[in-house]
């Protein structure tokens, strides 16, 4: 034993002597970082491609001119976010609000108690004990009384069956307004340790007044980092009535009642989600990941228009469609995506409206349904001539519309085409738009995450 200790001591001495004294050798962390593949995501390697429409517009619109651009590597969901995955977000919001309500009602078992620490937080700010499972059909009178408020009450209730009131499911999140921090007048002076006298920001904030969410835009002097923070409170439950609103004189009541709630649709893409709700989902997904990992990852987010189009092409620079060919049928005459082949012939491609994700073969990057099924939100603002403005490296026409901006400034680029669109909209380079506050039964989304490294 003593002999072994001597050998170890000599070895350590040799290693220490070999370290170059006074030389630049780094912080000491020599380990190579390896980023594990996120669950359900495909790796999209960096590269360049010709961005823009390959064909003339079917509706006579003026297309962006094509341009050669490069994008960094990123991860992308293999499929659109399904009802089942979005429901995990909805359930989290429901349970977090319920836990907070129980703590507020004095049920301290739902409050996290830290060992050897005094938790002086108020019930409004106390940490929640997620290990306590909420039993929604509990016989505990006090708990049941709190949980009853999450269901339709009195005249709003129908029959004896309890129905969750989706208006209760509000999610609050915050973000830093980098666009405001990047303004020239808002440059931080490192010599004075302060912002300039003209520094001013325009940010959004949300609050609840008399049970109603108020979304306003405010201007304020930029004094510290907190002045750059925006707050958003948003209801996260998908809009189900849009199945009727968007298709009048059409019997879509079964979809309206069951599409999101019934387990039979769990593998179908979530629809009826606004761009703002998709943003909230991305923010929650980021926190959910970071809270369970020692090393934080890049934020989950919506893809830029360029990232989406690059991924859709699957490495084929001039591909018209994600499968690489110029036609929507294979050699056997079978359709290659879920779309509207001919007037009234929705079922010719095996689907009527939406279909289960991954019902067709993936493109060369392993991505499913990059054409058809549901169109997809991107993070990019919509502009018909954005190619004349954006950079050729990671191009992105971005405008962070504020609450008091005109609706025209709240248009977001939508890509991929859907089950109700003709083949033209399935092309990789074709884009359209929707307002960020609108929900449709033919628009969903998928997330991306920037890759750490090359």
Judge whether 253 lies within some domain. Answer: no
Neighbours of 247 (CB within 10 A): 15
Relative orientation angle of helices 275-290 and 83-104, to the nearest 10 degrees: 70
Mind listing the pLDDT tens digit for each residue in 155-188?
888 877 888 899 999 999 999 999 999 999 999 9
78 and 102 in a common domain: no
Domain end, chosen from 235, 255, 279, is at 235
117 and 73 in a common domain: no
Say if residues 373 and 269 touch (Cβ distance below 8 Å).
Answer: yes
318 and 389 in a common domain: yes
Q: What percent of the chain has pLDDT over 70?
A: 91
Neighbours of 180 (CB within 10 A): 20
Q: How far apart are CA 65 and CA 387, in angstroms?
A: 6
Judge whether 91 lies within some domain. Answer: yes
385 and 305 in a common domain: yes
- Please give the pLDDT value at position 108: 87
391 and 320 in a common domain: yes
SS3 213: strand
For residue 117, pLDDT over 60 is answered with: no
Judge whether 222 lies within some domain. Answer: yes
Mind listing the pLDDT tens digit for each residue in 80-101?
999 999 999 999 999 999 999 9
- Please give the pLDDT value at position 120: 61
Domain end, chosen from 130, 152, 168, is at 168
Mind listing the pLDDT tens digit for each residue in 23-44?
887 776 666 677 889 999 999 9
Closest by CA position to 91, among listed 169, 162, 149: 169
333 and 314 in a common domain: yes
The range of the structural domain enclosing residue 219 comes to: 170-235
Confidence of residue 66 (pLDDT cuts 50, 70, 90): confident
Q: How far apart are CA 448 and CA 454, in angstroms?
A: 16
H helix runs in 60-122, sequence order: 83-104
Report pTM.
0.91
446 and 340 in a common domain: yes
SS3 180: helix
Vertex 97, ends 166 and 446: CA angle to 5°? 65
182 and 161 in a common domain: no
Mind listing the pLDDT tens digit for each residue in 184-205?
999 999 999 999 999 999 999 9
SS3 229: strand
Instruction: Provide the number of structural domains found in the chain.
Output: 3
Mind listing the pLDDT tens digit for each residue in 296-323?
889 999 999 999 999 999 999 888 999 9
Judge whether 31 lies within some domain. Answer: no
Judge whether 326 lies within some domain. Answer: yes
142 and 181 in a common domain: no
Share the mean pLDDT of the chain.
90
Domain end, chosen from 192, 211, 235, is at 235
CATH number for 312? 3.90.1580.10
Judge whether 190 lies within some domain. Answer: yes
Judge whether 3 lies within some domain. Answer: no
Judge whether 54 lies within some domain. Answer: yes
String of DSSP letters for 271-304: -S--HHHHHHHHHHHHHHHHTT-SS--PPEEPPP
374 and 317 in a common domain: yes
Q: How far apart are CA 287 and CA 301, in angstroms?
A: 12
For residue 16, pLDDT over 70 is answered with: no
421 and 317 in a common domain: yes
Q: What is the mean pLDDT of residues 283-307?
A: 93
439 and 292 in a common domain: yes
Among 206-215, 310-319, 439-448, the range with the most confident prediction by mean pLDDT is 439-448
């Amino acid at each position: 034993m003593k002999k072994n200790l001597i050998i170890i001591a000599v070895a350590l001495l040799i290693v220490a002597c070999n370290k170059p004294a006074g030389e630049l050798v780094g912080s000491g962390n020599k380990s190579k970082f390896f980023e594990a593949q996120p669950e359900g995501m495909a790796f999209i390697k960096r590269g360049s491609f010709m961005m823009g429409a390959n064909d003339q517009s079917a509706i006579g619109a003026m297309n962006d001119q094509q341009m050669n651009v490069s994008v960094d590597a990123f991860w992308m969901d293999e499929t659109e976010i399904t009802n089942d995955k979005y429901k995990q977000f909805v359930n989290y919001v429901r349970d977090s609000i319920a836990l907070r309500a129980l703590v507020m009602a004095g049920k301290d078992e739902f409050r996290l108690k830290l060992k050897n620490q005094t938790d002086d937080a108020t019930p409004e700010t106390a940490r929640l004990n997620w290990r306590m499972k909420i039993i929604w059909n509990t016989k505990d009178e006090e708990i049941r009384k709190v949980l009853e408020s999450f269901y339709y009450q009195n005249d709003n209730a129908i029959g004896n069956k309890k129905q969750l009131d989706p208006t209760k499911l509000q999610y609050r999140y915050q973000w830093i307004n980098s666009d405001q921090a990047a303004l020239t007048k808002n440059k931080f002076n490192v010599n004075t340790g302060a912002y300039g006298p003209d520094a001013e920001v325009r940010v959004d904030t949300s609050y609840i007044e008399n049970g109603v969410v108020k979304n306003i835009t405010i201007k304020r002097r930029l004094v510290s980092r907190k002045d750059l923070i925006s707050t958003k409170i948003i209801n996260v439950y998908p809009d189900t009535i849009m199945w009727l609103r968007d298709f009048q004189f059409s019997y879509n009541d079964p979809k309206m009642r069951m599409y999101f709630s019934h387990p039979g649709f769990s593998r179908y893409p979530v629809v009826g989600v606004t761009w703002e709700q998709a943003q909230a989902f991305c923010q929650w997904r980021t926190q959910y990941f970071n809270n369970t990992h020692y090393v934080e990852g890049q934020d989950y987010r919506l893809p830029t228009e360029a990232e989406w189009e690059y991924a859709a092409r699957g490495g084929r620079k001039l591909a018209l469609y994600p499968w690489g060919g110029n036609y929507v049928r294979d050699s056997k005459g079978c359709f290659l995506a879920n779309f509207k082949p001919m007037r009234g012939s929705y079922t010719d491609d095996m689907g009527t409206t939406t279909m289960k994700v991954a019902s067709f073969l993936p493109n060369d990057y392993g991505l499913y349904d990059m054409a058809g099924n549901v169109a997809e939100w991107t993070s990019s603002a919509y502009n018909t001539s954005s190619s004349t403005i954006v950079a050729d490296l990671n191009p992105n026409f971005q405008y962070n519309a504020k609450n008091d901006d005109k609706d025209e400034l709240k248009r977001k680029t939508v890509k991929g085409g859907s089950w109700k669109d003709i083949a033209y909209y399935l092309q990789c380079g074709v884009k359209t738009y929707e307002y960020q506050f609108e929900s449709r039964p033919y628009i969903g989304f998928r997330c991306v995450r920037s890759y750490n490294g090359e």
